[in-house]
Chains A and B, each alone.
Chain A
Amino acid sequence: MTVDVPADLSPELNFDTLPPEVRQLKEDARRFAQETVKPLVQQLDQAPAEDFDWDVMRRGHEIGLTRAAVPTDYGGLGLGMLGVATALEEVAAVCPGTALVFGATMLGQAPLLLSGDPRLQARYLPLFSGDEPVLACNAVTEEDAGCDLIIPANAPHARNVMTARRDGDQYVLTGRKRFITNARFAAFASVFANMEGSPGATGLTSFIVPLNLPGVVRGPVADKMGYRACLGSELEFHEVRVPAENMIGGEGEGMPINMAQSNMARAAVAGISTGVARGALEQAVAWAGERVQGGELLRRHQFTAAKLADMTAKVDAARLLYLHAANTVDTQLPPPAYEPAVAKLFADRAAVDVADAALSLVGARGYLRSYGVEKMLRDAYGTRIYEGTPEVLALTITESLYAEDDAE
């Protein structure tokens, strides 16, 4: 699989020298994670499902985490997925849930970024550059339709998909979305609905929907196993009237837009998974460096050393893959499917494997909630689900292996 990236556009391809502005955000994100999030991480994890810490968001917003991908003309950092992914790794190494609040906001912005529509962009993107943090969300998943809305071949078979119908200069949206990160507080959602009369999801269409419109109901927050610092909930749309100009890309063009945004997001989510793995590794390294058994530090026991080495290799490999994927996504439109899928598949597996190994190394203490290792394992399982399960990613990767080169 070759990628045609002009060499002079990608001096950072050696991955040792990130662009200075990306490096700056990464350093800011590391400081934010260590100084603001880390002291609160246990509290964020063990609070009731509905609790949300706006002070943490405010600090993240101050360094630009809510607008890293927003063009500079609208007050953003204009950094692309390389900036987003590297920053999210830093935050996820401490608290993946906090990282996902910012990641989901970026995903909510993605259709706007792809729209190229100056009116829509001017209306919604500056929201993220104010004094207070503003969140966005992306509403795809439904009760009966998960993979059916992200695999084109499944679209005709999708059932009970949220509908849209044109009525004058408006679209009327009706239906219900599930498992929507940030839905509780988002200012707007990127919503995907099927044009009335189109079978399954073959008329899938993308809309920007302000969540203060009449008929929008924010449902209850899901009580999740991990990622507890971010809130996932339902969104109900009861005959919600959306201006026609809020449609993105044309009627029935939602599936490719959804795939394009997913390909962008997967590079960033691979950064989160890498962060989860790194966070677990750091805890294991600290423990093995101080714990003495048999008169020796654990790290000097060969079994432990082998485990730590294996974990480290997985983290490093995951990072290289997501940096490559993010760089690829940042230099090609439409965003390619292959590199982000490979990066996410590998990083998700690394997160679970490394967190599992870390828990094993830390032993009984790793099983305690107070040590935080078990939290990383719980979070690792979450990363493996959203933005493409291993099964979906495998289909995407395999399809790329058999795809003919673009002949245009």
Chain B
Amino acid sequence: MKQHLGRQSGVQKVEVNLLDGKVDVTPKEDGQIDPAQLLKATYDSGVTAAEMDMTARGKIVKDSSGSLALQVEPNRSFAFAPNELSNGLESRAGTQTIVTVLGQLYKKPAGKKKADLAVPLRLLILEVQKKE
């Protein structure tokens, strides 16, 4: 799995901890990393992803449907799963403020063995680390 993930675009380093099933992925600074692609690559390598968390910096924007989202690249943004923390960022939408958040992008639904990878990933903010 380590080699498989390491071959994905935008991935600089992959560290796997066999004991607790933790996989750390360090992205390159080229902005090419795609979490959905990583999730797919994980399944393709024969293991089940139970959870995926992401730390990212970006601007708060409103997408075409009016939902708040974190824009991490000019052409890539992650819509927020609404919670108290995302609501607190609403006033920053459309401003030049750069925020750093830790959020959950994916959690395997209870009782399901296989994930539905066709569903767009939504970012559930767990912590707002910085506002600049």
Query: Are A and B a genuine interacting pair, yes or no?
Result: no
Chain B residues packing against A (C-beta within 8 Å): none
Chain A residues packing against B (C-beta within 8 Å): none
